[in-house]
Amino acid sequence: MLCISNLISRGRLKQVIRQYSEAFNTPVFILDGNRQLILTFPGDVPRQGLLTKPVFVRDTLVGHIGVISTEPDNLDFIAKNLSIILEDGYDIESLSAEVARNYEEFAILWTLSSKLASVLDVRKVCEITAAELMTICPSKAVTVLLAENISSNASTMVRQSRVSELGAREKSRFLLAEVSVGEYAPEALNMKCSTEKGPVGYAFQRGEPLTISDADADKGLEGFPYSVESILILPLVVEGTAIGVIIATDKLNGEEYFSKDIKPMFSIASECAVSVRKAALFSEMRGMLFSTAEAFSMAIEAKDPYTYGHSKRVAELSVELARRMGISDDSLTWIRLAALLHDIGKIGVPESILCKGDELNPAEKSKVMEHPVIGARVIECIDNFSEVAQWVYHHHEKYDGSGYPGGISNSDIPLPSRIISIADVYDALTTDRPYRKAFGADEAIEIMRKAVGDYFDPGLFEYFEKAISDQCHA
């Protein structure tokens, strides 16, 4: 309940009523809305014959002011004047509260923006956002749903539509749960909502937040695999186009979702939408990059039917080996790319040499040994690929320094190059060649084991053996 003592400090209030007392030569009393004494001047004055008048701020009763005896007009003046003073204080307090709220919202958005700045994975963006929303507005569930052409939970066929065509809503008839946190998270992850009908579809189409109270009585509600009472739906909008929604259900304190919840949460949703779009575009570009790399490697390998698919298999095994070593997801991406392109330099090797069924002569061997150098030169022409070029350049080095083209050894050989080297030799041994049939997995491992310490890094080879063993017994 709003009270005079909430709108002005006690010291300031005492100063004001002292001025009233001295101006009108009468004791002055300040009472609350229930006429209980708050302050008087001078102190310890009996209340016999007290005349009072209510004091309002913005049409709300905040207390009473009283005097022992004075002209009624004087009491009216005191009450009105105090109302003006209190209202000014109320405006200042309201402004201060608004500034504090805005600062808090800005701080939240700044923190979230910092967290999302370097995140280029759609699901990770959603996880960070859901956790942030759960912190500022604890609910039984906070769920991020994305359009089918973005969601990682959609079928591959649906995701074929280009991210640059996010506005083409006919390609995204449903929103799929990407991430959920809270008590109902397991159930919420099964959510599938229409983009065209129901409250969720309405918020998605309008691009505006929507709150629902008594949701359990709403017969038009669909897509919720659990019982809910109150709902807040926040559309994810980028440049006027909705790409998903965030749904919060049932605040833990039992209250409904009010405007004070919606404003900061919608700001967070907007930040999330921008980051999701950025991550989705990055994913599309990365997909195009890998598709191009695969196309290049397949074009090279098409010259030799015996090595067709070699680079893709080497990439898969290299990534599996690197993953077992605990290498970060970001580094795995680049290792996969280097493995796909490790033989691209063979574009400079004559087809007659690549497809020769007999043993190569020294001149032919020398020509084949040029392919890491040629490959590195091709790749380093691409901006920001200098490190990948180095990995390709060194993928034929040997642990004891007897490899090529650099003749370096041990840890001087880049780790990705050492990984690719193991995967490259294994795939070569386990596939047919013009001059021999493929070895079995056990035979290949036994052959390679004899070269550990000479050709291969002993530490990496342990991870490799475990990976192949798991594959064989899967």
- Condensed to tens digits (0 to 9), the pLDDT of residues 17-59 reads 888 888 888 888 999 988 889 999 988 888 877 889 999 888 8
For residue 169, pLDDT over 70 is answered with: no
Whole-number Å distance between alpha carbons of 315 and 329: 14
- Helices 310-324 and 458-472: crossing angle, nearest 10°? 110
**DSSP symbol at 451:** T
- Residue identified by tokens 């350049």 is 393
For residue 85, pLDDT over 70 is answered with: yes
CB within 8 Å of 309: residues ≥ 6 apart = 298, 301
- Residue identified by tokens 């609350």 is 32
pLDDT recorded at residue 107: 73
Average pLDDT over residues 173-188: 93
CB burial string 292-315: b at 16+ within 10 A, e below:
ebbebbeebbebbebbeebbbbbb
Whole-number Å distance between alpha carbons of 203 and 439: 60
Name the token pair of 211: 């709150």
Put the strands of the sheet holding 51-57 in their side by side order: 37-41, 28-31, 60-67, 51-57
Whole-number Å distance between alpha carbons of 245 and 136: 18
Distance of CA 169 to the CA centre of its chain: 23
More confident residue, 320 or 256: 320
Q: Could you give the percent of the chain with pLDDT greater than 70?
A: 89
**Confidence class of residue 356 from pLDDT cuts 50, 70 and 90?**
confident
pLDDT recorded at residue 442: 92
Q: Are strands 139-147 and 174-181 parallel, antiparallel or unpaired?
A: antiparallel
Average pLDDT over residues 360-367: 91
Whole-number Å distance between alpha carbons of 13 and 1: 19
**DSSP symbol at 61:** E
For residue 160, pLDDT over 60 is answered with: no
**Confidence class of residue 209 from pLDDT cuts 50, 70 and 90?**
very high
Whole-number Å distance between alpha carbons of 325 and 320: 9
More confident residue, 170 or 360: 360
Q: What H or E segment, with its residue span, contains residue 144? A: strand 139-147
Average pLDDT over residues 253-280: 89
More confident residue, 166 or 139: 139
Average pLDDT over residues 276-291: 87
**Confidence class of residue 156 from pLDDT cuts 50, 70 and 90?**
very low
More confident residue, 92 or 473: 473
Average pLDDT over residues 439-455: 94
Supply φ then ψ for residue 408, to 5 degrees.
Answer: -90, 165
**Which of 115-124, 287-296, 302-311, 446-455 bottoms out in mean pLDDT, i.e. has the lowest?**
302-311
In angstroms, how far is the first alpha carbon of the chain from the final one?
68
pLDDT recorded at residue 220: 58
Whole-number Å distance between alpha carbons of 408 and 148: 49
Average pLDDT over residues 279-307: 81
Most confident of 2-16, 46-60, 419-433: 419-433
**Which of 300-309, 348-357, 463-472 bottoms out in mean pLDDT, i.e. has the lowest?**
300-309
Whole-number Å distance between alpha carbons of 420 and 429: 14
The answer to pTM > 0.75 is no
- Residue identified by tokens 């809503």 is 169
For residue 92, pLDDT over 70 is answered with: no
**Confidence class of residue 158 from pLDDT cuts 50, 70 and 90?**
very low
* Count of C-beta atoms within a 10 Å radius of residue 266: 17
**Confidence class of residue 163 from pLDDT cuts 50, 70 and 90?**
very low
Name the token pair of 56: 């309002």
Average pLDDT over residues 398-409: 95
Average pLDDT over residues 62-89: 82
Whole-number Å distance between alpha carbons of 44 and 23: 19
pLDDT recorded at residue 235: 95
**Confidence class of residue 71 from pLDDT cuts 50, 70 and 90?**
low
pLDDT recorded at residue 167: 41
| Spatial CA neighbour of 199 closest among 249, 153, 264, 256 | 249
**Confidence class of residue 322 from pLDDT cuts 50, 70 and 90?**
very high
More confident residue, 92 or 128: 128
- Read off the pLDDT of residues 367-393 as tens digits, 9 standing for 90 and up: 999 999 999 999 998 888 899 999 999
Q: What H or E segment, with its residue span, contains residue 232? A: strand 231-238
Q: What H or E segment, with its residue span, contains residue 53? A: strand 51-57
Average pLDDT over residues 347-366: 86
Put the strands of the sheet holding 139-147 in their side by side order: 192-194, 174-181, 139-147, 241-251, 231-238, 210-212
**Residues recorded for the chain:** 474
**Confidence class of residue 1 from pLDDT cuts 50, 70 and 90?**
low
More confident residue, 17 or 218: 17
